Structure 1
Amino acid sequence: MEKIAASIMCGNQLALGQELLDLQVAGIDWLHCDVMDGVYVNNLAMAPYVLEPIIQIKKFTTDIHLACVDPEKYIEMFAPVQPDYLTFHIETTEEPEALLKKIHGKGIKAGIAINPVTPIEKIFPYLDSLELILVMTVNPGFAGQRFQWPVLEKLERLNSQLDGKKVRPLIEVDGNINAETTASISKIGANLYVVGTSALFNDQAGTYKEKVSQLKQHFVTR
């Protein structure tokens, strides 16, 4: 399964209702929802009251990505809006297993995000305890950064580690995902491609449906 997930933070915040309708028409059924605290990353986004109505329409599978220090605090804050997935950064905690259990205790699927410079092996002890792995291909915080190509080697090691598992967590990639990077990632293996300003929410000609179709042409058939 390979799907496009729209980074709703990058959409037109003055017309989110229309954006959601246009994304549905484009065939997108996953939303990536960035939450930033201004501490772990030098940016702010998105509050529970913003995400709650988006989640409540139940038209999308939603993943809330907590780019925050003190992830336990934010798990408690965002669990009531009941996203499908809550994802925290491995770099922000010394007790990943406890956070995974806390998320599962809220009736939500759990994910771990990992930054480009962090060795992928750091999450290997938790592969049987989570449902999603978010591999950042840029440093979290801002859209439009340069894709970090060495991350592809991490994806190869991750897929090798997952080979043979009866139940595999989803692999999500986020950061300057466009036609070129999608093609390279798909050859290695991923499930979810987070797209934002690089390939979807931009001023380039074409509808969302056309842009999504162009990206999907670069998926490798398995």
Structure 2
Amino acid sequence: MKIFAASIMCADQMNVLAEVKKVEDSGCELWHCDVMDGVFVENMALFPEWLAALKQVTKLPLDIHLATVTPEKFIPMFAKVEPAVISFHIEAVQDVEEMIALIHSYGIKAGLAINPETPIEAVYPYLNTVDMLLIMTVNPGFSGQTIQPATIQKIRQVKQHLAGWPNAPLIEVDGNIYDQTIQDMQALADIYVLGTSALFHTNDQTSYKERVDYLKQLTD
């Protein structure tokens, strides 16, 4: 069973409560929350207080993605929000195992994120301790980008590497996820982050539920 996560950054920020209701009714199972510090990426988004407020009005768990330098400073802040998972970037730290252990110390699942240009082999030493692998299929920071085709091969490669593992981490993909790219991925990922390409701000007149139902059919 595949999981679909809605990117809160891509929702209509002036109508968040209405967006929460539509996403909850759509069949999405997670809120994907991009935290940006303006340093690791040239954008800023989502403070702990904002996500704490979101937590009060939604039934869906939060999937926090730290697109930041020094994630060790941000993990304690966002752990207070009690998300389901916190992901940090392999490119942002020297000691990956230390960050995984820090997240786990709060009773939260740990995710490891990897940018498009980073070789997938870089994450292999940590796949036995991390709970989720977040493969960025575009460069983090801004919505509306086109998928980098080489990242699909990364997904295939890591799935082959994990074949037969009894407790393999879930694979999440983020960036230009819509019907065509989902089909190109051949349902290899476990979690699909939906943003402006498939859910929010599209010209499609169908409901969020109809859009998510259609995408789920493509992964069956």
Per the TM superposition, whether the score is higher than 0.5 is: yes
**Following TM superposition, by how much is the alpha carbon of 1:161 offset from its aligned partner in structure 2, in angstroms?**
1.2
Contact 2:179–2:218 under 8 Å retained in 1: yes
CA distance in 2 between counterparts of 1:151 and 1:61 reads: 27
CA distance in 2 between counterparts of 1:216 and 1:35 reads: 27
CA distance in 2 between counterparts of 1:61 and 1:160 reads: 29
Contact 2:112–2:133 under 8 Å retained in 1: yes
Which residue in the other structure is 2:20 paired with?
20
1:124-163 paired onto structure 2 within 5 Å: 124-163=124-163
CA distance in 2 between counterparts of 1:131 and 1:104 reads: 10
Contact 2:20–2:58 under 8 Å retained in 1: no
| Structure 2 spans left out of the alignment, 5+ residues | none
Which residue in the other structure is 1:10 paired with?
10
CA distance in 2 between counterparts of 1:216 and 1:12 reads: 23
CA distance in 2 between counterparts of 1:26 and 1:78 reads: 26
1:44-193 paired onto structure 2 within 5 Å: 44-57=44-57, 59-185=59-185, 187=186, 189-193=188-192
CA distance in 1 between counterparts of 2:55 and 2:120 reads: 30
Provide closer, same or farther for how the CA distance between residues 127 and 25 of structure 1 changes in structure 2, counting only shifts above 3 A: same
Which residue in the other structure is 1:197 paired with?
196
**Following TM superposition, by how much is the alpha carbon of 1:58 offset from its aligned partner in structure 2, in angstroms?**
5.7
CA distance in 2 between counterparts of 1:178 and 1:203 reads: 11
CA distance in 1 between counterparts of 2:63 and 2:10 reads: 15
Q: Secondary structure at the match of 2:182?
A: helix
CA distance in 1 between counterparts of 2:46 and 2:53 reads: 12
Contact 2:17–2:57 under 8 Å retained in 1: no
Contact 1:131–1:169 under 8 Å retained in 2: yes
CA distance in 1 between counterparts of 2:187 and 2:83 reads: 28
**Following TM superposition, by how much is the alpha carbon of 1:25 offset from its aligned partner in structure 2, in angstroms?**
1.0
Contact 2:143–2:196 under 8 Å retained in 1: yes
CA distance in 1 between counterparts of 2:168 and 2:157 reads: 14
Contact 1:179–1:218 under 8 Å retained in 2: yes
Which letter maps to 1:194?
Answer: V
Identity of aligned residues (%): 47
What is the TM-score normalised by the length of structure 2?
0.96
Q: Secondary structure at the match of 1:72?
A: helix
Q: Secondary structure at the match of 2:193?
A: strand
